[in-house]
């Protein structure tokens, strides 16, 4: 099934379309969510939330504004960031025992290799060091532009300009 056929079925709220949608995009979206949330169970919950949002808000997708994958990726990223900023999530993270973190040391190398399934990290590595820093903070770690500005100790306007330039460089590498 092509993406265009899938979109038609989703607009029609065809139940089979949800299964196709999930099969096509769940692995790549989960990778992005898991990197941001850093908790498998929470990431699975966020993934479920993301697919519900996609399903309910399909009418807000506008093909002329960008690719479908980019649209759903932004939903996944924003939902993950919302989860990270939620009071309940922050409280639950404070209450975790150190036993819950032992496996992270063993899995850290595996996680680095799973930043995302579409391989975007390999393209990001080809960018200038400043671009790598900005994209890492904004997209992989979920910082706001203001938080990135504070972290890097540079003006907000500079972060915005450099982010735009870095994304343009990345587009050239991806030939989009």
Distance of CA 175 to the CA centre of its chain: 20
- In angstroms, the CA 108 to CA 113 distance is 9
CA distances 62 to 11, 45, 145, Å, are 12, 26, 25
Sequence-ordered list of residues with C-beta below 8 angstroms from that of 55, at least 6 positions apart, any chain: 10, 13, 18, 21
| Under 8 Å between Cβ of 55 and 25 | no
- In angstroms, the CA 120 to CA 101 distance is 27
Tokens of 112: 């680095």
DSSP 28-66: HHHHHHHHHH--HHHHHHHHHHHHHHHHHTGGG--GGGS
Task: Provide the Cα torsion 77, 49, 111, 94; round to 10°.
Answer: 90
pLDDT in tens, the chain (176 residues): 788 888 888 888 888 888 898 999 999 999 999 988 888 999 999 999 999 999 999 999 888 888 888 899 999 999 998 888 876 655 655 555 455 555 544 444 444 444 444 566 777 778 888 888 888 888 777 788 888 898 899 999 999 999 889 888 878 877 75
Predicted confidence at residue 92, as pLDDT, reads 57
Predicted confidence at residue 11, as pLDDT, reads 87
Predicted confidence at residue 155, as pLDDT, reads 92
Residue for token pair 């989703």 = 10
Predicted confidence at residue 117, as pLDDT, reads 46
């Amino acid at each position: 099934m092509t993406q265009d056929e899938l979109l038609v079925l989703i607009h029609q709220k065809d139940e089979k379309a949800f299964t196709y949608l999930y099969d096509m995009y769940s692995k790549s979206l989960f990778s992005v969510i898991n990197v941001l949330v850093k908790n498998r169970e929470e990431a699975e919950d966020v993934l479920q939330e993301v697919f519900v949002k996609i399903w309910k808000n399909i009418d807000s997708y506008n093909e002329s504004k960008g690719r479908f994958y980019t649209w759903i990726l932004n939903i996944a990223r924003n939902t993950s960031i919302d989860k990270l900023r939620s009071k309940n999530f922050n409280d639950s993270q404070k209450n975790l025992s150190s036993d819950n973190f032992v496996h992270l040391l063993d899995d850290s190398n595996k996680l680095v290799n799973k930043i995302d399934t579409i391989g975007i990290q390999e393209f990001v590595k080809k960018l200038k060091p400043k671009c790598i820093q900005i994209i890492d903070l904004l997209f992989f770690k979920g910082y706001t532009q203001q938080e990135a500005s504070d972290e890097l100790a540079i003006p907000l306007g500079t972060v915005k300009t450099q982010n735009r330039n870095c994304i343009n460089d990345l587009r050239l590498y991806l030939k989009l």
